């Protein structure tokens, strides 16, 4: 396995954009090419596109060759589109990493993109039902908000977690999002503001939920032999893991406040890299809802089970705490364009390690970071690890 680095990263503004799907792809592509000015796009031999539902949101299929055409890339090795709902972008990164690590590719491009807002918003909204098991969960209205509301209710019942602690997640991520010029929402909020926003699915209010969003992000990955041609600050991909429980909510293991799949994925990653949660300096996690981040603290091992609410209340997930979580503002501030989210998290890692972020959200001295995505009703979990050090140099 060869060492693999991210040598370039580019992003669009996330939000409700008038830009088309095609526009978003080209905007992110231009941004990443501008970031690696000495890269000849003829050297890009592989392309991996993360996109969840372009067939329904923009009525376009066969999207990977389309992206290659839009960006002027003649792929000679591997071209693929990845779809695992909310983890589609991170899956694209993982497959690109594996292609370069195994020698199948030397320089690969990853593009994550989603255009979720359109004039057919009934289609956009109803398409989210497809992420669950449509025949069983979807027809009963069991979409993401009621599912994560049930997770929150169970966690509150079992561990005493409060609505105020949920709101603190949004407050933290909005503080960092207000300092991210690419985020959809760039405004700080208070606990009172979160609690007073419109109820969506008790106990989750509107501000406990991430938004339907348009956006794109792109990366250039290169082998160790080629990486130094393009940058003096490569960000090394150390590894990635996946774990899936089921596609049907009633077949999930354990109760809703225990995400067994995430715990298994985290343990696999730590074992693979011979690290522990204490070694992690920063984490981009999948805060599609505020309760998600609280469970992720616990299952990733940042705190003991049931103490996620206490963890945020004591400020341990802020920069300067035990581990900086979502210093880019998370999904709650950036929004959640499904195929782009995992790639945006990697973009954040690159910017942090380079020191190219506002000082108010800069994790000074960070050397190791992880990014976590879930998809479906928290059945699939995907984690990638990034560092300024190569895997063989990890201490």
User: Which position among 155, 258, 336, 382 bears the catalytic label?
Assistant: 336
Distance from C-alpha of 338 to C-alpha of 114, rounded to nearest angstrom:
6
Cβ neighbours around 295 below 10 Å, total? 27
Torsion sign (Cα): 177, 183, 188, 191? negative
Cis status of the peptide bond prior to 306, with omega within 30 of 0: no
Active-site residue, 86 included: yes
Q: Determine the 3-state secondary structure of 110 from DSSP.
A: strand
Tell me the C-alpha distance between 115 and 308, whole Å. 33
Contact 232, 30 (CB under 8 A): no
Asked whether 214 and 14 are in contact (CB, 8 A), the reply is yes
What contacts 382, CB < 8 A, 6 or more positions away? Answer: 84, 87, 90, 91, 94, 240, 241, 242, 265, 342, 372, 373, 374, 375
Phi, psi of 172 (to 5 degrees): -60, -50
- The answer to whether residue 209 is catalytic is no
CB atoms within 10 A of CB 134: 10
CA 122 to chain centre: 25
CA 98, 100, 104 angle in degrees (round to 5)? 95
Per-residue burial over 345-364, b if 16 or more Cβ lie within 10 Å, else e, is bbbbbbbbbeeebeeebbbe
**Which residue numbers are catalytic?**
86, 336
């Amino acid at each position: 396995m060869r060492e693999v680095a991210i040598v370039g990263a580019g992003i669009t503004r996330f939000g409700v954009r008038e830009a088309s799907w095609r526009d978003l792809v080209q905007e992110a592509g231009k941004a990443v090419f501008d970031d690696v000015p000495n890269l000849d796009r003829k050297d890009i031999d592989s392309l991996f596109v993360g996109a969840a539902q372009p067939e329904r949101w923009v009525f376009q299929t066969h999207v990977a060759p389309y992206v290659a055409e839009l960006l002027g890339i003649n792929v000679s090795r591997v071209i693929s589109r990845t779809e695992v709902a909310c983890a589609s972008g991170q899956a694209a990164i993982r497959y690109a990493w594996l292609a370069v690590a195994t020698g199948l590719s030397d320089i690969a491009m990853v593009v994550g993109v989603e255009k979720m807002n359109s004039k057919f918003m009934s289609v956009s909204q109803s398409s989210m039902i497809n992420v669950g098991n449509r025949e069983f969960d979807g027809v009963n209205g069991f979409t993401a908000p009621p599912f994560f509301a049930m997770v929150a209710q169970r966690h509150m019942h079992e561990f005493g977690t409060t609505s105020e602690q949920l709101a603190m997640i949004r407050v933290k991520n909005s503080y960092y999002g207000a300092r991210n010029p690419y985020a959809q929402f760039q405004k700080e909020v208070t606990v009172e503001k979160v609690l007073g926003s419109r109820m969506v699915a008790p106990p989750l209010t509107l501000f406990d939920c991430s938004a339907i969003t348009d956006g794109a992000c792109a990366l250039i990955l290169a082998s160790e032999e080629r990486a130094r041609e393009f940058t003096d600050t490569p960000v090394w991909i150390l590894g990635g893991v996946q774990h899936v429980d089921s596609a049907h909510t009633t077949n999930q293991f354990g109760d809703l406040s225990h995400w067994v799949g995430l715990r298994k994925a985290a343990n696999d990653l730590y074992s693979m890299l011979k690290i522990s949660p204490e070694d992690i300096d920063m984490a981009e996690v999948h805060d599609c809802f505020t309760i998600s981040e609280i469970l992720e603290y616990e299952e990733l091992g940042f705190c003991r089970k049931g103490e996620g609410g206490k963890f945020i209340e004591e400020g341990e997930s802020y920069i300067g705490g035990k581990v900086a979580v979502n210093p880019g503002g998370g999904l709650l501030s950036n929004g959640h364009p499904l195929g782009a989210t995992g790639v945006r998290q990697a973009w954040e890692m690159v910017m942090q390690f380079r020191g190219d972020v506002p000082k108010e959200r800069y994790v000074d001295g960070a050397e190791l970071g992880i990014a976590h995505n879930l998809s479906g009703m928290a059945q699939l979990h995907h984690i990638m690890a990034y560092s300024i050090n190569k895997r063989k140099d990890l201490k």
